[in-house]
Structure 1
Amino acid sequence: MSTASPSPKISIIVPCYKAEKSLPRCLDSLFRQTFQDIEIISINDGSPDRSIDILRDYQKGHGDKLVIINKQNEGVWAARRDGIATARGAYIGFVDADDYVEPNFCEVLYKTAAISDADITVCGFWREDEAMHHVLSEELTEPRNTFDALCEPARLLELNTAPWNKLFRASLLKKVSDLRQPPPVFEDVVMHLLVFPHTNRVAFTGNALVHYLVHENSLMTSITAQQITATYEALVAVKEIEKSRGTNQIMMSLMAAEAFLHMGISLMFRVSYDKTANLGTVLRENRAYLDKHFRTWKSSDIISLKHALKYKGANLKVWLARIVYRAHLMRAALGAYRLMIEKTGRDIKW
């Protein structure tokens, strides 16, 4: 029976909800890690299936290397918060119970973090169709230099907001403010916006280490007006938290740029798939929201031709999207974007 060290170098947090089919594969991939100085914290978030029984069976074989938090259902935000509070590692990572990781996931991320003295370390991943058993895309594997977020804040736009392909310095996450009303969707965006203003160095491994499984029912789901409103309110709450903490103007400007990227582009793209939604009305409300709460989205130097030409990639795409949005051409652009995906099967990765 293996046990975790008193102060492991890494804590991996695995929230579970209706995960009985995929959970064994996920846990097996974590217990087969080449880097063993880890603890696995799995939160059974009131799951109605056999997830808690599976966790207890694994704990019998792995001792206190697997920490189980069994609680009533409160959602992934609260589950991750509970995991962070419990974590003893110097670094914290996340793995979704639907996914699994390569055997060197922890080793490569930890060594990269240690060498770079990074607050956030990012690895690439495979986006895989679970039903068809094939890779849809390989992402974040291009060579990228380590950067200082305060000196190059625009480069934070390069990062996907999912936490499951990253290691975070534990002290960074443990200082993150909680929200009274976390959003029911886009919770990953909210978490990162609470982390980014306090991040120094960001490093990349340059290789894919995570198998991110795409399910048929998760490709594109409708989003309700209530969910949109809750997400809008959560981002405003984050802005107020950071203002009260004295966050500098550079990072507040980054927050406006991120709000445009995720609310103005990603959220509107998701709404555009809802045939019951009045996209024109939602776009007008979206612009009014950005203008009121994140006024610098239109003029922020974070989204600029200078950064688009220097960094290319996500920075170039966001700069072009802002031109389209400001010209009131977003509805047509979203339609063309969806048509391209349907015809080619290829998506533009942000």
Structure 2
Amino acid sequence: MPRFSIIVPVYKVQGFLRECLDSVLGQSHGDFEVIAVDDRSPDGSGAILDEYAARDDRVRVLHLPENVGLGRARNAGLARAAGDYVLFLDSDDHYTPGLLAAVAARLAATGDPDILVFDHVRTHWWGRGGRSEAADLLAAAGLETFGIRESPQYLNLFLVAWNKAYRRSFFQEHGLQYAPGLYEDAPVTYRSMVLADRIACLDRIGVEYRQRRQGAITKTPGRRHFDIFPQYEGLFTFLEQRPDLDWARPLLLERALDHMLFVLAREDRVRPADRGDFYREIRSFHRRHLPEGGFPLPDGWRGVEMRLLASAPYASYAAARGLRD
């Protein structure tokens, strides 16, 4: 059984794929398997995967019979994973040298937590950016492990699949799966974070997150960005079935609203003609999930900003944009 299973969903990335795979196969820590999922890519990506698998037996390739999208491609790879920990890597990004050795060492030092989170850096065509906004949080964690109930500020870590190592048995025990559509990272990330008993952090840049000038679907304006609403509805449907997680509902509602506002504010996501409809969806989501009178502030959460009353966080944005119910 390998220490790590690294799942790489692949679609229309033939220009980036070799750099991605080389960054994994060149790691100093070699106890891993790569499960590359060809999501019926119409370019030469599938052939590149077969080439790598032919020369390195750590690479296993799954060619899907039809295109299923990023979330379900990850699920397909996860079903074949055998490692102690599962990592997801997007095929246009790549690992920094020494990442897996550092992850292995931190997991050993923290007693194999449910989740380990590490940092990333954005890379543009003109060069590399600086540390992420999460750097201070990652540094503050040190070698300690924590749960979100006691450390809710860690819900502000970057909301993606590829900056974490998940203990595979934890992922399977809780039936975590990625849903179809955009923003598939959100429900899995938040669900896993509130379910985890022990989370650890690694204050190290592990992923070079490529900022593509074109071709990135999350930066293409259109109605597909309305996928964010069913994604979060799925998360809150799960919470309704888990009264033991009632403590997490106000935190996750605040995070959901913040994410929706971020998408609404981006001109490369929601078209001007769709802004009114998107805003009304936010209002509707808020009304459905905020109890009358708001949430009480739980014991021990002094200093945690809840922003969930009538002066909701989107009010000032809506006034500035001239949006109406």
What's the TM-score, normalizing by structure 1?
Answer: 0.79
Secondary structure of the residue that 1:83 maps to in structure 2?
Answer: helix
Alignment of 1:140-219 (within 5 A): 140-142=134-136, 143-145=139-141, 146-177=144-175, 182-217=179-214, 218=216
Which deviates more, 108-117 or 119-128?
108-117
Aligned residue type for 1:20: Q
- Counterpart CA distance in 2 for 1:58 and 1:87 is 18
What per-residue deviation string (whole Å, max 9, x for no partner) do you get for residues 143-199 of structure 1? 1214422542512322111111211111122234467x9342111112213312321
Identity of aligned residues (%): 24
Partner residue, 1:24: 18
Could you list the runs of 5+ residues in structure 1 that have no partner in the other structure? 1-6, 309-315, 336-350
Partner residue, 1:340: none
Partner residue, 2:2: 8
**Aligned Cα root-mean-square deviation (Å):** 3.0
- Counterpart CA distance in 2 for 1:323 and 1:90 is 46
Assess if the C-alpha contact under 8 Å between 1:153 and 1:250 holds in 2: no
Assess if the C-alpha contact under 8 Å between 2:29 and 2:100 holds in 1: yes
Aligned residue type for 1:120: I
Question: Whose helix fraction is larger, Structure 1's or Structure 2's?
Answer: 1
- Counterpart CA distance in 1 for 2:201 and 2:183 is 23
Alignment of 1:178-327 (within 5 A): 182-217=179-214, 218=216, 220-224=219-223, 227-228=225-226, 230-263=227-260, 265-270=261-266, 274-295=270-291, 299=295, 301=297, 306-308=302-304, 325-326=312-313
Secondary structure of the residue that 2:219 maps to in structure 1?
Answer: coil
Assess if the C-alpha contact under 8 Å between 1:93 and 1:167 holds in 2: yes
- Counterpart CA distance in 2 for 1:159 and 1:334 is 28
Aligned residue type for 1:191: V
The correspondence for 2:119, drawn from 117, 121, 124, is: 124
What per-residue deviation string (whole Å, max 9, x for no partner) do you get for residues 32-69 of structure 1? 11111111111000101111111111111112x11111
- Counterpart CA distance in 2 for 1:93 and 1:185 is 19
Could you list the runs of 5+ residues in structure 2 that have no partner in the other structure? none
- Counterpart CA distance in 2 for 1:126 and 1:178 is 27
What's the TM-score, normalizing by structure 2?
Answer: 0.85
Alignment of 1:57-68 (within 5 A): 57-63=51-57, 65-68=58-61
Distance 1:107 1:123, change over 3 A: same
- CA shift, 1:320, in A, is 7.0
- Counterpart CA distance in 1 for 2:210 and 2:293 is 33
Assess if the C-alpha contact under 8 Å between 2:18 and 2:48 holds in 1: yes
Task: Give the number of aligned pairs.
Answer: 312
- Counterpart CA distance in 2 for 1:66 and 1:234 is 31
What per-residue deviation string (whole Å, max 9, x for no partner) do you get for residues 273-300 of structure 1? 6443353453233122112134489546
Secondary structure of the residue that 2:36 maps to in structure 1?
Answer: strand
Aligned residue type for 2:219: M
Alignment of 1:27-66 (within 5 A): 27-63=21-57, 65-66=58-59
Which deviates more, 81-90 or 115-124?
115-124
- CA shift, 1:204, in A, is 1.5
Assess if the C-alpha contact under 8 Å between 2:40 and 2:67 holds in 1: yes
Distance 1:199 1:275, change over 3 A: same
Partner residue, 1:135: 128
Partner residue, 2:63: 70
